[in-house]
Structure 1
Amino acid sequence: MPDEEPAGRGRRGRRPKTGRAGRRASRRDDSNGGDPDEGDGLFGSDGVGGGSGGPSKRRGPFSEEQSSDPEARARGICLRLLTLAPRTRAQLAEALLKREIPAEVAERVLERFSEVGLIDDQAFAAMWVSSRHHGRGLARRALAQELRHRGVEEEMVKEAVERLDPDEEVETARRLVARKLGSTRGADPRARTRKLVGMLARKGYPAGLAFRIVREALEAEGEETSEEGGYLDSL
């Protein structure tokens, strides 16, 4: 048995790799049969492709954005933007223009995305109205302005904002005033009215409706209010 001792010492003498190199080697040995490209995830550190294999090794839905083919680049840009948030066709067209995608290529890609339902301005408008009204308390006028700014066609804008129930719009205005009312207590009634009506006006509520809602809220507190015209003239 003594002649086995040197072999044992030899095995013990081989020190395992330590530090970063050792950890990398260990991971390669422990995962997927030692293939270094497996287990890296869909995206590399640049967020568009996988690891060290170069363009041919890239993975993920946005790798086309780095392509030399304009149509592939356009698809990648649109997919990335749509993943971040819903977009209108006009917003995507503007993004492609900024990235110097040829107009005919951009139109072809946008048309294809519309055909498969990835772009749907009508659905975007309906979702926008619901979300912004319930989340921010915006009225139809402000909502329409925001949709126009995002390139939604006028007919779709009108259809989307008309779905907002007028009674719901009034109730939302009342809730907005009720939340703000406490912070104005102690101020001059005229100043309170200006502040509250101004808040509703910035959210797109018509001046007449805004004044009526504010007047009701102040009178419920026992506050005396003057005629509407004088207040509106001072806004």
Structure 2
Amino acid sequence: MRDSAPADPASRARDICLRLLTGQARTRRQLADSLRRKEIPDEIAEQVLDRLTEVGLIDDAAYARSWVEQRQRSRGLARRALAGELRAKGVDSAVVAEAVAEVDPDDEEAAARRLVERKLSSTRGLDRQVRIRRLAGMLARRGYPEGLALRVVRAMLDEEVVEDAEDAESASGFETDYLDSGEE
């Protein structure tokens, strides 16, 4: 009975890479790390990775662009956090810089606003400075620069104050109208 695993390291390396790439895109370094764990000799791994890059199955630039778009949209991560994740996956710094440069500053600010909006109600009742610290800290953990984080948080807290005042004013106007009409 013949073993189904290829005997020659190049075939084995190719099979490993193709299996990993079937589920999702991977960076060259992720594939190289997997091959190293499977004890594929480095020179064989390099040859296989070079060939897969040649035919377009490994494309770190496309991977980086896709990663940035998806993570920025789904998680609201800022450029700095996205860059850190890509570097951790072994993407070259120049490719990382190019990918994160595609994030529009207005989109980044809009994402920060959405994140703050989601957390705003959970901080109601706290002192304004505590709210600023907590909300800006949440944005900082997602990679937003301090200046942008503080600007967004303060603006949204100011908007909340205005909305609360308008709500209170309209409620008191309703009570006055109701009482003036003589209805009970």
Question: Which position in structure 1 is the counterpart of 2:26?
Answer: 87
Mapped to 1, the partners of 2:21 and 2:112 lie a distance apart of 32
Local SS of the residue matching 1:221: helix
Match of 2:115 in 1: 176
Match of 1:128 in 2: 67
Residue 55 of structure 1, CA deviation: 3.7
- 1:98-136 Cα offsets, whole Å, 9 max, x none, are 111011100000000001110000000000000000010
Scaled by the length of structure 2, what TM-score is found? Answer: 0.85
Higher helix share: 2
Per the TM alignment, residue 84 of structure 1 is displaced from its structure 2 partner at its CA by: 2.0
Separation (CA, whole Å) in 1 of partners of 2:16 and 2:133: 46
Q: Hey, what's the Cα distance between the residues in 2 that align with 1:97 and 1:128?
A: 24
Which structure would you say has the larger RCO, counting Cα contacts within 8 Å and 6 or more residues apart? 2
Rounded Cα–Cα distance in structure 2 between residues aligned with 1:182 and 1:77: 48
Deviations 1:47-98 (A, max 9, x none): xxxxxxx547x6xxxxxxx222101110111011111221000110111111
Q: State the 1:193 CA deviation.
A: 1.1
| Pairs within 5 Å for 1:1-235 | 54-55=1-2, 66-222=5-161
Deviations 1:141-169 (A, max 9, x none): 00000111111111100100001101111
The structure that has the greater radius of gyration is 1
Aligned identity (percent) is 58
Q: Distance in 2 between matches of 1:182 and 1:79?
A: 47
Root-mean-square deviation (CA, aligned residues, Å) is: 1.3
Q: In the TM superposition, what is the alpha-carbon distance from 1:176 to its structure 2 partner?
A: 0.8
What SS does the aligned partner of 1:222 have?
A: helix
Q: Which runs of 5+ in 1 are unaligned?
A: 1-53, 59-65, 224-235
How many residues are matched? 162
Extract unaligned runs of 5+ from structure 2.
Answer: 163-184
* 3-state SS, counterpart of residue 182 of structure 1: helix
Question: In the TM superposition, what whole-angstrom CA distance separates every residue of 1:1-54 from its partner, at most 9, and x where no partner exists?
Answer: xxxxxxxxxxxxxxxxxxxxxxxxxxxxxxxxxxxxxxxxxxxxxxxxxxxxx5
